[in-house]
Structure 1
Amino acid sequence: MNILIIDIDSLRPDHLGCYGYDRDTSPTIDAIAERGVRFDRCFVSDAPCLPSRTALATCRHGLNSGVVTHHGEGQRYDEPGNGHDPDADRMLAFRQLAENGIYTASVSQFTQRHLAYHFGASFQESIMPTATAGGPAIEDCSDVTPVAQSWLDRHADDDDWLLHVNYWDVHHPYLGIEDVVDSVRDSGSAPEWPDQAAIDDQQGMTGVRCADLWPSADQYGPDWLDFYDWPMPESITDRDDFEQLVDGYDASIRRVDGEIATLLETLERNGIREETAVIVTADHGEAFGEHGIYAEHAFPHPACQQVPLIVSWPGVTDDAEGEATDAQVYQFDLLPTICELADVPIPSGWDAEAFTPALSGDRFEGREFLVSGQGIYTFGRAVYRDQWMYVRLVHPGVFSYPGLYNDPDLPNDGLELLHDLEADPHMTRNLVASEPERTAEMRGLLDRWLVSQLSDEWHAQQPVESRGRDPLARTASTGPYLYADPDELLELYREHDRSDAQIEALTRTMAAFPRPTRNPSS
């Protein structure tokens, strides 16, 4: 069996037709879902990009791999093993497949963009589609697809391979969408929420990529704004501003969907479509108003941590075509599932667990609860159980949103949140104060999970200075300031006569979470 994994950066599931979206963003992905199984409650174990793809490549929580953020100590992968010998119980996920007869390759700039050697090293063949990565030299989907096509053409007659193809285009800036944006707009309405009342409520919060301040020429510089083909609002003050962002995002999904169609046509042309499993997923999602954040992955909530997972596997999903499961799974549970289906041993040291029964429509309960970490702009973890979501912020970064967090009238300085996702899917009400028993229950789940993870044998063997310590908490000492400098933001607020309440809120946060003197990116 051959396996094609399509990994789309920043893709939230509820903007796909197969997940119920009103707009025609994803006809190709929807067709894949019709031939496979869709997971409606799939979350990454760690977000965003670097922690998420590290988890996929290691099948381990960031707590156990060391990678929980994009900078400082929290970006460094703790390679298990001794000298030149890796730990066979914690083998890199795609390397485990390679060692058991499946040829593995990846077409992605990710390894270079995030200096993540361990990700590229997980594959036998790691291909950068362009010569550069990061900054203004961002690869376009039109750069990626021809490289992936060429690989598929060369390996069409081979047996047992896995190709990972990474598209970055759904991540802002939204480039090259002029030919598709009108048709996407005309195909359906933008989401009804946030309505104007919600947008009005979000004015006055502190932070970047929020309703009060999105990209600003003062903060990011005119060159940054010029980089955006698609005009981006400097703040979100009304529905027009919101729809401008969503139109660019949705059109980017449609553009990538067309590239996926080209890959499937390549499989068809080579006569191997029916012997190739096709999987569509993402590294994280994107907020569009949740907790006041727009077009960014900055908070531990479903907008960032919930991802699509669609598996179409000939001979396995045939009896469950078009079905969906609401069983909770981690995205990295995909790898042991592939191992089971390919008759590859699953290392004992992985945190991931196979969801194979769900693919054939058999009874599958999924995980009782999930813990998902967040590692840029804010540091924290969310716990998902049934309809409940509990958040503990380790560090709020530069964000404060009245009534939700960093509110002195709430317990624990407002660094805890509780939401009922069925009654309040947009998470507008924090129930910590009104639901103390439920809060205690969810808090206990997270505490016990942390203790069990940090008490295992591997952690006990670590150096004394890091033994039993949470890498997210260690990294929080430098603050989640890689993309948002609190001093610069405070100065910007003063220069532009922002409200006394905003200046006071940001000053209070900076006092509660002092910034170290050294550069956090060093």
Structure 2
Amino acid sequence: MRVIYIDIDSLRPKHIGANGYHRNTTPNIDKIAEQGVSFTRAYCASSPCVPSRASFASGMFGINHGVLTHWGPGCDFRISNHPDQPMFIRYLRNQGYKLATFSSFADRHDAFWFMAGWNEVHTHTLKKGNEDADEVMDAVLPWLDENGRDDNYFLHLQVWDPHRNYTMPVEYQEMFKDTPPPAWPDAEAIASHQDNYAPFSALNLFPHGDGKSNAPSIPDRIRNSDDFKAFVDAYDGSIRFMDEQLGRLFAKLEELGIMDETAIVISGDHGEAMGEHGIYGDHVCADEAVHNIPMIIKWPGMKQKNKRFNELVYNVDLTATIVDLLGIKVPKKWDGKSFASLLREEDYEAREYLVWDHGLYSVSRSVRTDDWLLMRTYHPGVVPLEPIELYNMKDDPNMTKNLAEEREDIVAELDHLLQKWTHEHVQPGKQPDPLPLVVQTGPYKYVTKEMWENRLSKVIGREDLRDEFLKNIKAK
């Protein structure tokens, strides 16, 4: 079996045409979705980039693989490749598969454990994630010419384009100038975001330097609906450019005569905020927008076509499912649960809830059920978050009204699930939860406490926001 895994950084599932997006951002991805299935409620178990890909590499939750932030305390990858708990890539290789990756992820984040197990590692540029999708395809397509018709390989390729700063050719941004942006955030919501002191907020869209935009495609700030439209046009333009480059990949598979018999999996490391929690184009907490990831599977012989599933699934469930679909036993100590039986139209016991966490800019852990999202923030870092936030995701998908005080019964119910989940994963003989390490040292990586205090006061000129920031971190 040939498997091609397309790893897209910072792609919101809501911006994929096959998932109902009103803009024509992903015509080539949509064609793959028509031949397979899409999961609209798939989530990364830990965010952002480094914790999420540690889950991909290990098949484990962050509480077990040890990586909840980008470096320092709480970023100690600790999977030792025990036979019952092997790393995903090493496990496939032991089963006779050839493994190749085209990715600059390890170079960008000094995450060299990601290199373990591959037969071939192609760091096709030294741009550390700043390369565009055409550069990735220029490296991948010759590899396919040479190896594409072989059997039993797993090809991983990563594209960064939906990650800021949206460096696609300007004509891709202009493609959407006559198409309305998403209905939310509207003018009222954008106005309410003007007093948010977080990095990547409407006020602090560029949190370094003088605050001016360092990307031609992006405005300095989100002051109004016109600014938001320019911003989302750039984001969607980067998606469309990336999608056209994936079209080159799919055309190559057709040219080689292997498209129908090749499994294609499209997913990503995390989503992206577009106004949720007042953040634009980044990822600062454990909310829905950051953790919701794309998940599309086209698998040879799969009967179900052009179908969307709404089951709650993790990224670690996807790796377990790939192994299962390949006819390989899922390691019993992985945290991932295969949903291959769902794809085979067999009995499947869905997860009743998910727990996920985040450790960059803020430290939070969340519980997600069908209807509700509870987010507990253990350290607000540089983000104005409440210690407990509760959202009705069916009535309020953009998380605009915190119901924690009104629905103490739901808070208690979800808190019980959170404590139950934590107890299951922190037991005698197991390594400790890394989250307290990030809380103890603070989620100050790219933005330090001293830097942010100075910026709010002297660069932004908002001493009131500086005082609010200092008050929040003092009360953590």
> Do these two structures clear the TM 0.5 threshold for a shared fold by scoring above it?
yes
- Give the whole-Å Cα distance in 1 for the aligned partners of 2:469 and 2:461: 11
Task: Name stretches of at least 5 consecutive residues in structure 2 with no aligned partner.
Answer: none
Q: Which residue number in structure 1 is paired with residue 195 of structure 2?
A: 204
Q: Any idea what SS the aligned residue of 2:228 has?
A: helix
| Cα distance in structure 1, aligned partners of 2:167 and 2:216 | 6
Q: Which amino acid aligns with 1:71?
A: W
Give the distance between the partners of 2:405 and 2:263, measured in 1 at CA.
47
Which among 119, 122, 144 is matched to residue 127 of structure 1?
122
| Range moving further from structure 2, 493-502 or 47-56 | 493-502
The one-letter amino acid paired with 1:200 is: A
- The alpha carbon displacement at 1:379 in A equals 1.0
SS at match of 1:274: coil
1:427-470 deviation per Cα after TM superposition (whole angstroms, max 9, x unaligned)? 1111110000100000111111111100164x1xx4xxxxxx32
Letter in 1 for 2:470: T
Cα 1:434/1:498, change in 2 over 3 Å: farther
User: 2:213, 2:220 within 8 Å by CA — same for their partners in 1?
Assistant: no
Alignment-derived partner of residue 73 in structure 2: 73
1:497–1:156 distance in 2 versus 1, CA, 3 Å: closer
Cα offset for 1:176?
Answer: 2.3
Q: Deviations over 1:108-155 (max 9, x none)?
A: 000111111121214222211113425xxx222121102111221111
Can you list the C-alpha shifts for 1:205-232, whole angstroms capped at 9, x where unaligned? 221111222115xx3358x844x242x2
How much identity, in percent, do the aligned residues show? 35
Instruction: Give the superposed CA RMSD.
Output: 1.7
Give the letter aligned to residue 74 of structure 2: G
Q: Provide TM-score, normalisation by structure 1.
A: 0.88
User: Structure 1 residue 116 and structure 2 residue 107: aligned?
Assistant: no
Contact 1:23 1:185 in 2 (8 A): no
Q: Tell whether 2:241 aligns with 1:248.
A: no
Indicate yes or no: 2:22 matched with 1:11: no
For residues 237 and 92 of structure 1, do their structure 2 counterparts lie closer, same or farther at Cα, with a shift above 3 Å needed? same
From 441, 445, 458, give the equivalent of 1:482. Answer: 445
- Consecutive unaligned residues of structure 1, counting only runs of 5 or more, are 81-85, 406-413, 463-468, 514-522
* Alpha-carbon distance between aligned partners in 2 of 1:261 and 1:371, rounded to the nearest angstrom: 35
Aligned partners of 1:204 and 1:499 also within 8 Å: no
Which amino acid counterpart does residue 153 of structure 1 have in structure 2? D
Q: Secondary structure at the match of 1:391?
A: strand
Residues 48-83 of structure 1 deviation map (CA, whole Å, 9 limit, x = unaligned): 100001101100011101111102022221132xxx
Partners of 2:458 and 2:25 in 1: CA distance = 41
The corresponding residue for 2:102 is 107
- Of 163, 168, 183, the match for 1:176: 168
Question: What are the within-5 Å matches in structure 2 for residues 285-304 of structure 1?
Answer: 285-304=271-290
Deviation at 1:177, TM superposition (A): 2.8
Deviations 1:354-406 (A, max 9, x none): 01022234443421110111121111111111110000112111121xxxx3x
Aligned partner of residue 468 in structure 2, secondary structure: helix
The separation in 1 between residues aligned to 2:151 and 2:243, in whole angstroms, is: 26
Q: For 2:293, what is the secondary structure of its paired residue?
A: coil
Q: What are the Cα deviations for residues 165-189 of structure 1, in whole angstroms up to 9, with x where unaligned? A: 1001110011023132222333x32
Q: Which amino acid is 1:333 matched to?
A: D
Q: Which residue of the partner structure matches residue 467 of structure 2? A: 504
Q: Does 1:336 align with 2:320?
A: yes
Deviation string, structure 1 residues 405-432 (Cα, Å, up to 9, x no partner): 3xxxxxxxx3111000011111111111
For the pair 1:220 / 2:209, whether they are aligned, the reply is yes
Does residue 279 of structure 2 align to residue 284 of structure 1? no
Cα displacement string for residues 237-257 of structure 1 (whole angstroms, at most 9, x for unaligned residues): 101111121111000000110
Using the TM superposition, name which of 498-507 and 428-437 deviates more: 498-507
Partner residue in 2 for 1:258:
244
* 1:431-450 to 2 correspondences below 5 Å: 431-450=403-422
Partner amino acid, structure 1, of 2:466: I
Q: TM-score, normalised by structure 2?
A: 0.96
Instruction: Tell me whether 1:309 sits opposite 2:295 in the alignment.
Output: yes
Paired residues of 1:177 and 1:248 also in contact (CA < 8 A): no
Map 1:135-154; keep pairs closer than 5 Å. Answer: 138-154=130-146
What is the alpha-carbon distance in structure 1 between the residues aligned to residue 209 and residue 71 of structure 2? 19
Report the secondary structure of 1:104's partner residue.
strand
**Structure 2: distance between partners of 1:334 and 1:342:** 12
* Contact preservation (8 Å) 1:327, 1:365: no
Could you tell me which amino acid in structure 2 is paired with residue 66 of structure 1? Answer: G
